[in-house]
Amino acid sequence: MSLVERDLKVIWHPYTQMQTAQPPVPIVRGEGACLFDESGKKYIDAVSSWWVNIHGHAHPYIAQKVAEQLHKLEHVIFAGFTHEGAVELAERLLQLLPANQQKVFYSDNGSTANEVAIKMCLQYWHNRGEARTKILAFKNAYHGDTFGAMAVSGRSAFTAAFDSLLFEVEFIDLPTEENIQSLKSQISSLKSELACFIFEPLVQGAGGMIMYEARYLNELMKHCREENVLMIDDEVFTGFGRTGKNFACDHLTEQPDIMCFSKGLTGGTMALGVTTCSTQIYDAFLSDDRLKTLFHGHSFTANPVACAAALASMDLFIEPSTRQNIERIEQMHTLFLQKIKNHSKIKTVRQTGTILAMEWETGNDTSYFSSLRDTLYNYFLRAGIILRPLGNIVYILPPYCITNDELAYIYSHVERALDEI
């Protein structure tokens, strides 16, 4: 029995309508920016395996550090205990972040990193004896699939079955020159009710790679600071180089109270979530009253093996060659954008850092359920390219180790698709 046949007997895949989905591609190994199936066919992983892989698959350095850790300590309860990897990772991560970030809370993934952040903000006000329970978020946001993260994400087909169970959120438009003053007025009118403002900085990933300007986010954040509204910067997607800088917040002068990380944190090796916060947030939980404790935890909090992977990934991330690769990808994306931006089948094309998104013209509004999605996905898959369109939006988000030839191959097939589909 083949791997696919075995899979179909026992597996339920994410974001997949199992009744109509094609059989999954059986991947047996990875190397660099590529994956290989059981027949030996090579695929360029142009979406970094759901945006997590930044250094390439089966990176020998990360593998070595993970193997060494497995022979030393695989796990220890993190309530009442600690270990070297968790402490060192927190120390090194905080050195890269804005100066106001002073404490690290570990969890399992991006959704839980955001859940922790939301709970921190809600309980911050509760501990202070203030009734602030409303949350501010952007329309079309995506912060995860657990209930709290889902509640602060835009209402859509993804949340429809659960909408009546989600807590109240005030959704606002992305800031622009035209609406910034009205958004600020809206925040001022709600400030006594708002526990926090959560946002994806500069790029809304799952919403369709929607991009907006740092200067207007900065102005909005400055106003939130003036109105004493806490801010959560969800860098699960944008962190670790995706926007061209270490973190999207590096494009800003205003800084958040809380930051969330996952995906590229371990170089795509395994699941790990991090929520960092300011001393102001942390201090609100310090008390002789045990009821003011942050009652949140996970069995695998600060897993030593995951921390080892993250530390190895960070070693690679701070190498000059990684910065050079990020700049190289940015430059190649920009050149390709200029080449195709006036194509009749391109509605819009946009770029932030190593993220390039192309919206196909369909005659209709953008839709995650556009029939064009499957046509494009299969077209690229046949060519040995993994691109997972968000409806009629095709985006290229490669590992930083991708070669110029591999990028050129992807670009050439995008051009062919524009001409043939």
- Residue 87 token pair: 């402490």
* Closest alpha carbon to 420 in 373, 375, 358, 369: 375
Q: Taking each helix axis from N to C terminus, what angle separates 404-420 and 372-382, rounded to the nearest 10 degrees?
A: 130
The two most distant CA atoms of the chain are separated, in Å, by 68
Which residues does 29 contact at the CB level (< 8 Å), separation at least 6? 35, 36, 57, 58
Name the active-site residue from 45, 65, 257, 263: 263
* Closest alpha carbon to 312 in 60, 100, 46, 99: 60
Q: Provide the CB-side half-sphere exposure for 78 (13 A, CA).
A: 22
- The DSSP secondary structure of 54-99, one letter per residue, reads SS-BT-HHHHHHHHHHHTT-S----SS---HHHHHHHHHHHHHS-T
Name the active-site residue from 142, 395, 400, 411: 142
Name the active-site residue from 15, 41, 139, 341: 15
Burial 315-326 (b: 16+ CB within 10 A, else e): bbbeeeebbebb
> Is 142 part of the annotated catalytic residue set?
yes
> Is 263 part of the annotated catalytic residue set?
yes
Which ranges constitute the DSSP H helices of 284-351? 304-317, 320-340
Cα 347 from Cα 366, distance rounded (Å): 10
Cα 172 from Cα 137, distance rounded (Å): 6
Name the active-site residue from 45, 108, 233, 234: 234
Tell me the three state secondary structure of residue 385. Answer: strand
Q: Which residue has the tokens 């591609």?
A: 25
> Is 216 part of the annotated catalytic residue set?
no
The amino acid at 300: F
Active centre residues (catalytic): 15, 142, 234, 263
